[in-house]
Amino acid sequence: MKLKSTLFCILTISLGFYNCSSTHPKTTAVATMGQPEFADNGKTIDSIKKAYHCESINYENWDNKKETDSCLTVCLINSTKVPVMTNPDSRELIEIAASIKKALAKPQNYKSYYIIFIKKNVFMGEESKAHTLGQEIRTKDL
């Protein structure tokens, strides 16, 4: 009888987790956006992608209004060359942000840039993302 109770509990918990799977719509605070407009037609982004051996580069923002106080989040996905951070003020992430700011058609739309390296995995049809390194850089620090 105890075995049946244990199996019932495991089944119930499993069904609960199944209902929380990514097949159901979820609300998130971060909205994925398309690629921002670049003055150099994306050449800078292509060179960053090549330099850091990224699978892709995605952009996220807290809102889609492109207000002057927004933060542009640049996600480098599955990079094989993630920088080693020896201190919190690493110049490498600042240089990436400066390159992106310089290449943007409307850099005045952003007051900060969040450069983030993400490791993305797919296991049994479920996608997971892990933040490996990131830093927010204010425009005035570039």
25-64 per-position pLDDT tens digit? 333 334 445 678 899 988 999 999 999 999 999 987 655 5
Note whether residue 113 is domain-resident.
Answer: yes
- Which residues does residue 115 pair with via DSSP β-bridges, in sequence order? 74, 135
Whole-number Cα distances in Å, 129 to 76, 78, 105: 12, 10, 29
Note whether residue 82 is domain-resident.
Answer: yes
Length of the chain: 142
Question: In whole angstroms, what is the distance from residue 93 CA to residue 77 CA?
Answer: 15
77 or 128, greater pLDDT: 77
Q: How many domains does the chain have?
A: 1
Q: pLDDT class for 130, splitting at 50, 70, 90?
A: confident
- Average confidence (pLDDT) over 125-133: 86
Cα dihedral 84→123→21→60 (10° resolution):
40
Note whether residue 83 is domain-resident.
Answer: yes
Question: 137 lies in which domain range?
Answer: 26-141
Note whether residue 134 is domain-resident.
Answer: yes
Note whether residue 34 is domain-resident.
Answer: yes
Q: pLDDT class for 102, splitting at 50, 70, 90?
A: very high
- Where do we find the tokens 């509990």? 9
The amino acid at residue 94 is I
- Average confidence (pLDDT) over 113-140: 89
15 or 116, greater pLDDT: 116
Note whether residue 44 is domain-resident.
Answer: yes
Note whether residue 96 is domain-resident.
Answer: yes
Selection from 69, 83, 80, 67 nearest residue 115 by Cα:
83
- Where do we find the tokens 């495991």? 10
Note whether residue 7 is domain-resident.
Answer: no
